[in-house]
Structure 1
Amino acid sequence: TESLFLSKLASRVILVHRRAEFRAQKVSVDRVMSAPNIQVRLNTVIRKITGGDAQKNGGGVSGVILSASDGSAEETVSADGVFIFAGMKPRTQLIDFLKKDSGGYIVTDESMATAIPGLFCAGDIRSKPLRQIVTACADGAVAAFSAEKYIDSLKRGESK
């Protein structure tokens, strides 16, 4: 998902993945593999990010040194930027009783309410299309507001 986003902004994206195959959803993998400006390097790791010389390149990134995951081959690739995304797996073991989507994220409505009255969920553990700090903060604000409304309804004797 992140490489697809970057591919809209850059003429070339190299996706480096240390394993032989992706564990992402098939539809996402298919989109990445068919993107004309995304190069996929499986069984590859970044050994070093080069640059940082203020006199040569203003202190920015100049490239990366890639190698096969087993360390057998090494390659230097020029790059103007490096974006690290390590992936994520939602940790929902403590709330295994809630409804989740196919990726294991908790399903809520727009008020951040779960299927259990009075239980709200916010942030990256929630099922949603975008996981960024700003969306997690917004989720928290909505969840707090919704929880306050729920508590007020209980105080008034309303049933939910």
Structure 2
Amino acid sequence: MSKIYDVIVLGAGPAGLAAGLYAGRSRLDTLIIEKGQDGGQIAITNEIENYPGQILEGESGPSLIARMTEQAKKFGAERVSDVIKSVELDGDVKKLVGNKGEYLAKAVIIATGAFPRPIGCKNEAQYVGKGISFCATCDAAFFEDFEVYVVGGGDAAVEEAMYLTKFARKVTIIHRRDELRAAKSIQEKAFKNPKLNFMWDTVVDEVDGDEILSKMIVKNTKTGELTTVEADPEDGMFGLFGFIGLLPNSKLFDGIIDMENGYIKTDDNMHTNLPGVYAAGDIRVKSLRQVVTAAADGAIAAMQAEHYIANLK
């Protein structure tokens, strides 16, 4: 018979790792299941300036996550790398079925996070990895001394655009409005950066090229005018990075847990509509998706799971 854990945490981003840490410190038998690398969205973020008490100036996402991973491990949280295909979340024992086997627990904390929203232009899928990217930290070095375009106007888009200026010779932010949505402190830095340019009231309509991305058609959101942007002939290509929000990684729970626009509904204590099942971090309905709020969600979910387990017959 499969081992029955006290808590299974699904996902190893800031929410999942915080949940694993708090569950482990509470002496709960805890398993963290992650299908990829630890960290979720923060693992592909170069600079973090808004996490309280960060150790180093210019903290990177990977370095912060590495410490979170070690903390969870220190307090006894077990780890499995697997992709969960189906779940049974009713009853006192929850079952998760993955490629490597079945996992049982008294409580489940869902911290599966979210993934980048596609740019939404024609031929996009054809050029992902061939000029189109959603991770500046991962792919910036491939575009050293090339021209790069960044789609978006929020905090992530502007911060990653500034990071890309360390590599590209020119970076242009393409934004559908005539002003940025990023925090004022971030905007101030961006407008002072001599390598940053702005293409206002614009969206990417289509991308093209021979094998790699070398041409795109952009559309003015106010006039509808189409403009063709081509790579410098000497370069033969350019980079296009998308940072226009996230989509919840919640398909596994369709029809099982109450949701709103794909995000899992919870109360302030991370309870879902199912007893013993909690959601934490970017996966749940909330007003702010940041590392600090994800970590707080994970801590709350773990403590609520402890209370739930203590009251099981």
TM-score, with normalisation over the residues of structure 1? 0.54
Asked if residue 122 in structure 1 is aligned to residue 284 in structure 2, the reply is no
Q: Cα offset for 1:28?
A: 2.1
How much does 1:27 deviate? 1.8
User: Is the CA contact 1:66–1:77 (under 8 Å) kept in the aligned structure 2?
Assistant: no
Give the superposition deviation at 1:61: 0.6
Q: Identity across aligned pairs (percent)?
A: 22
Instruction: Provide the rounded CA distance (Å) in 2 between the counterparts of 1:141 and 1:65.
Output: 43
Tell me the amino acid that sits aligned with residue 32 of structure 1. A
Does residue 12 (structure 1) correspond to residue 170 (structure 2)? The answer is yes
State how 1:18-29 maps to structure 2 within 5 Å: 18-29=176-187
In structure 2, C-alpha distance between the alignment counterparts of 1:129 and 1:36, rounded to whole Å: 29
Deviations 1:79-134 (A, max 9, x none): 5221222236xx79x66x85xxxxxxxxxxxxxx67xxx9763226464249xxxx
In the superposition, relative to structure 1, how do residues 127 and 50 fare at CA in structure 2: closer, same or farther (>3 Å)?
closer
* Deviation for aligned residue 1:145: 5.0
Matched AA of 1:61: L
Higher relative contact order (CA 8 A, sep 6+): 2
- Greater strand share, structure number: 2
User: Which secondary structure state, in structure 1, belongs to the residue aligned with residue 309 of structure 2?
Assistant: helix
- Which of 190, 197, 204 is equivalent to 1:32? 190
Q: Taking structure 1 as reference, are residues 122 and 73 closer, same or farther at Cα in structure 2, changes over 3 Å only? A: closer
Q: Retained in 1: the 8 A contact 2:205–2:219?
A: yes
Q: Kindly indicate whether the alpha-carbon contact (under 8 Å) linking 1:122 and 1:143 is maintained by their aligned counterparts in 2.
A: no
Cα distance between partner residues in 2 of 1:120 and 1:11: 42
TM-score by length of 2: 0.31
Q: 1:28 to 1:150 in 2, by over 3 A?
A: farther
Alignment gaps of 5+ in structure 2 = 1-155, 232-236, 247-259, 271-275
Q: Aligned-residue CA RMSD in angstroms?
A: 4.1
Rounded Cα–Cα distance in structure 1 between residues aligned with 2:167 and 2:304: 39
Aligned to 1:68: 220
Query: Does structure 2 retain, via aligned residues, the 8 Å contact 1:15–1:38?
Result: yes
Please say which of residues 141-150 and 28-37 is displaced more in the overlay: 141-150
One-letter amino acid of the structure 2 residue matched with residue 74 of structure 1: T
Paired residue secondary structure (1:149): helix
Q: Can you give the 5+ residue segments of structure 1 that lack an aligned partner in the other structure?
A: 54-58, 99-112, 131-135
What code does the residue aligned with 1:71 have? G
After superposition, what is the alpha-carbon deviation per residue over 1:41-77, rounded to whole angstroms, capped at 9, x for unaligned?
Answer: 11122232121x2xxxxx1111322343213362424
Structure 1 residues 30 and 154, CA gap change in structure 2 (3 angstroms)? farther
Q: For residues 311 and 168 of structure 2, what CA distance do their matches in structure 1 show?
A: 52
